[in-house]
Copies of this chain bind each other. A is one copy, B any other.
Amino acid sequence: MAPRFSVTYWLDASDEKEARARALDVSVEQTVEIPRHIVPHGYVEEEILGRLESLVPGHDSRRGFLAEISYSEDDVGGDFLQLLNIVFGNSSIKTGTRVESITLSDGLRTLCPGPRFGAEGLRTRTGITSGPLVMSAIKPVGLSTARLADLAHRFALGGMHLIKDDHGLVDQPTSPYSERVAACVAAVAEANAKTGLHCAYVPNITGPASQIVERAYMAKEAGAGAVMLAPSLVGFDISRSLAADADFGLPIISHPTFAGANVITPTTGFSHRFFFGTLQRLMGVDAVVFPNFGGRFGFSREECLSILEGCTEDLGGPKPIFPAPGGGMTFARIPEMQSAYGDHVIYLVGGALLREDDLVAASQKLRAAIADVTAKSG
């Protein structure tokens, strides 16, 4: 028998009998997908069919039940997308069914060794050994390459540690990808020469299927410090594949665009902790952008803290990564955010800086305020 891993689902059910029936349905749906009584005896029934390992009442306001179902590594067949298919393929289409967490097996740790850099690797590359990192974004779409590069330059002069493309910047005629990458890398390098810092420019490689990997390599060759992609658009295997590629060797930042439906209701999709934490690490992502609590999106403080947990908890192999909450950062909120995330965070600050006339001064002031709060709490 092959080793097994397990997935814990939250299931809507009013009593244990109903919960058990629903859990057994999931164990069939996610594996053999034929009525249980015709599952072939022997290998398929004993190995491939999902197995209900435990069923306990839920412990939060949703009530319901938590069902742990184990699956065979044989069903995965060394294919990351098939792993996701088993975790939540067809059952994603059922109401009252949510993926809460996964317990890895050694085989999955081999398939998903995790990020190449992780949080510590990003610290090393940016030279920021303690305290929060700060990332900004160049935008909006429609600006020329010269204007975007100028923004990158000023953010870097202001001491930002990472400067990413807006996720809407691809290869528009106003700022073609290769032109933008070259200009922004140069603009940030020029600022780094003045500041002595190691700010990294992070282009968005989301694009046509046939060009994503090519753009990743263009970024590397041009001297970018990391790349950003949107897994819900480009697919969930690109980052794993890039992270596994020693020739590529740049950190990867994940963007949540188009992913909202996966977490937005508490009784469907995935837990925040799994989707923006565990899954990102399995995908080989080094930092994950998500909407901060108290900003213009609806994530709660508790949900954001669960993402921090998913980014950092021991998975027995895949490195911890940085949560990168975006939106809602103001000077007044720094103490509140520091108390929530501590030092293990990349603050993504975009609009709050872009509205200032003096971008360099505003960036410096923000960094100083974060350092100040961090020092006081330390």
Contacts and interface: CB of A to CB of B under 8 A. Distances in A.
A251 to B, nearest CB: 18
A272 B222 CA distance: 42
Nearest to A90: B257
Contacts of A173: 74, 77
B264 A208 contact: no
Query: How many copies of this chain?
Result: 2
Taking each of A94, A233, A296, which has the highest tally of chain B beta carbons within 10 Å of its own beta carbon?
A233
A64 to B, nearest CB: 16
B85 A168 contact: yes
Contact of A74 (B25, B93, B174, B236): B174
Interface stretch (A29-37, A52-60, A193-201, A367-375): A29-37
Interface in A243-274: 256-265, 268-270
A128 interface: no
Interface string A92-105: 11110000000000
Contacts of A262: 261
21 contacts: A25-B296, A35-B351, A74-B172, A74-B174, A81-B208, A81-B230, A82-B206, A85-B257, A86-B168, A90-B167, A90-B257, A90-B297, A93-B263, A93-B264, A93-B297, A93-B298, A94-B260, A235-B235, A235-B238, A261-B264, A265-B268
